[in-house]
Chains A and B, each alone.
Chain A
Amino acid sequence: MAKPLPVEINHIKEKGAVRVTWDDDHVGDYPREYLRGYCPCALCQGHGGEVKFIDVVDAKLGGISAVGNYAIQFQWEDGHNTGIYTFDYLRSLCPCPECKDSQDR
């Protein structure tokens, strides 16, 4: 089967979360701190090793943009914007209970 692609990215300000709807009808709500924490850029993650969680208190999301055909970029209000979240990575982060169970993180 083809890899799932996102069809809608909705920044729900009231909830402090980003809702990603996928074309296989999967929906996940990503809290802002969680998204910021798993930023994939080299500044946050270094070069190699396990994926780290970076605790940023009160992460505010300024904007979201698409990168080419394959990824999403978040602009945080503290100026951080180097994280390019590929669709695959974004899906692997999905925090919904169903995905969490199978990820065993």
Chain B
Amino acid sequence: METVTQDIVLEALKKVQDPEIHRDIVSLGMVKNLEVAAGKVKFTVELTTPACPLRDRIHEDCKKALAGVNGVTDLEISFGAQVRGSKSGAGQTDLLPTVKNVVLVAAGKGGVGKSTVAANLAVALKMHGAVTGLLDADIYGPSIPIIMGVKEEPKKIAVNGGFKLGPPMAHGLPVMSIGFFLEPDQAVIWRGPMLGKALHQMMADVHWGDLDYLVVDMPPGTGDVQITFSQQLKVSGALLVATPQEVALADVVRAKSMFDKVMVPIVGIVENMSYFICDGCGKKHEIFSRGGAARAAERFKIPFLGEIPITSSLREWSDKGVPILVREPKSEISKIFLEIASKLAGQLSVVSETARRAQSLKIVSS
């Protein structure tokens, strides 16, 4: 009988490609803990995100690849996940060294549901098993504390001889918001430099700990805050939220052109308020028309990650400070969020591979 060696197994597994990154799983270093003994083959595939949408496919492909190898009598494949950082760029001082991926949830205008989407996607990423944090950078209307039902205030904690702010936990996620520092009903009336300073503090002076993903709820538009983030942070990518009507397209164009200028890759578009299923007649009403965001995605070759329907329970539980995913994890709307989060994580894994070039910028002097 032929003896199977580690080399033979690795050679066979080189035929298995990561369906998103389009490179084989061996050269990507995803095959771990390979054990081969008397025909018994055992290894772990380390996925690039616990929210990986393609786990089953990779499992099947591995089985197929090894089916052709003589002498394999027993096969045991397990899955693990190690989220890879996709932070591109070369900011010499990384304000968030313990955060692997920073995702900006943005839109060209207000009122499209960025905060709701950001909060629920952060919860969904966590439910997929990734360590996730949520930063509310919407200085004009910080609504994350309400949506996440945060009652506590940030605490001062000692870190490495200095002091940092410990973010309060809400539904298992560390959450930080400018809203924590304001009296209720008080408005932020600041010019650019003040905003920059406040945001800098919310990034550098907060003890986030090790995070796989930090989801940032951005203020609407293309202004000071967006520039601050793109200059001071190694942002992995931006997720655009849009509504379905034609005019929303113009806002997608603006947001895209801004992120292109500062070289923040756009990882996807989500269409919010896509349709409404009437609880009386069961009919699907397309209140704001439908498919505008999908068309924009197609036109600019941005991945379209999904449609979120108008759902009164989503609104209701957001107002009560309980994300719908926590309240009704099996509901249709929760499934949609989980699916979008999984696609988002997949896109970020793609970005992390392509951004390696930009990461390697060295600044030296001789």
8 Å CB interface, B215-273 against A? 230-235, 261-264
CB contacts (< 8 Å) of B160 on chain A: these are none
Bound complex: CA of A14 vs CA of B365, how far in Å? 10
8 Å CB interface, A21-42 against B? 23
Query: At the interface, yes or no: A66 with Cβ under 8 Å from chain B?
Result: yes
CB contacts (< 8 Å) of B143 on chain A: these are none
Bound complex: CA of A71 vs CA of B264, how far in Å? 12
Q: Number of A interface residues, CB 8 Å?
A: 22
Cβ contact within 8 Å between B361 and A9: yes
Could you give, for residues 89-131 of chain B, a 1 whenever the CB lies within 8 Å of some chain A CB and a 0 otherwise?
1111000000000000000000000000000000000000000
Query: At the interface, yes or no: B366 with Cβ under 8 Å from chain A?
Result: yes
Bound complex: CA of A84 vs CA of B261, how far in Å? 13
Cβ contact within 8 Å between B235 and A68: yes
8 Å CB interface, B188-237 against A? 230-235
Nearest B residue to A5 via CB reads: B358
Distance between B278 CB and nearest chain A CB, rounded to angstroms? 45
Query: Given A23-B357, A66-B361, A69-B358 in contact, is the A11-B88 Cβ separation under 8 Å?
Result: no
Query: At the interface, yes or no: A64 with Cβ under 8 Å from chain B?
Result: yes
Query: At the interface, yes or no: A12 with Cβ under 8 Å from chain B?
Result: yes
Cβ contact within 8 Å between B361 and A5: yes
Nearest A residue to B365 via CB reads: A11
Bound complex: CA of A10 vs CA of B364, how far in Å? 5
Nearest A residue to B260 via CB reads: A70
Nearest A residue to B228 via CB reads: A68
Query: At the interface, yes or no: A92 with Cβ under 8 Å from chain B?
Result: no
CB contacts (< 8 Å) of B363 on chain A: these are 8-9, 64-66
Nearest A residue to B233 via CB reads: A68
Bound complex: CA of A68 vs CA of B264, how far in Å? 9
Cβ contact within 8 Å between B362 and A9: yes
Distance between B193 CB and nearest chain A CB, rounded to angstroms? 13
Bound complex: CA of A11 vs CA of B361, how far in Å? 14
Query: At the interface, yes or no: A95 with Cβ under 8 Å from chain B?
Result: no
Give the one of A10, A14, A64, A66 with max B CB within 10 A. A66
Which residue in B88, B231, B264, B357 is a CB contact (below 8 Å) of A67?
B231
Nearest A residue to B91 via CB reads: A66
Cβ contact within 8 Å between A7 and B89: no
Query: At the interface, yes or no: B360 with Cβ under 8 Å from chain A?
Result: yes
Bound complex: CA of A12 vs CA of B363, how far in Å? 11
8 Å CB interface, A57-89 against B? 64-71, 84, 86-87
Bound complex: CA of A13 vs CA of B366, how far in Å? 6
Nearest B residue to A67 via CB reads: B231
CB contacts (< 8 Å) of B263 on chain A: these are 68-70, 87
Distance between A85 CB and nearest chain B CB, rounded to angstroms? 13
Nearest A residue to B360 via CB reads: A7
CB contacts (< 8 Å) of B262 on chain A: these are 68-70
8 Å CB interface, B120-156 against A? none
8 Å CB interface, B157-177 against A? none
Interfacial residues, chain A to chain B (CB-CB below 8 A):
5-14, 23, 64-71, 84, 86-87
Interfacial residues, chain B to chain A (CB-CB below 8 A):
88-92, 230-235, 261-264, 357-358, 360-366
Q: Provide 17 A-B residue pairs closer than 8 Å at the C-beta atoms, listed in order of the A residue.
A: A5-B357, A7-B360, A7-B362, A9-B364, A10-B364, A10-B366, A11-B365, A12-B365, A14-B366, A66-B91, A69-B263, A70-B89, A70-B230, A70-B261, A71-B231, A84-B231, A87-B263
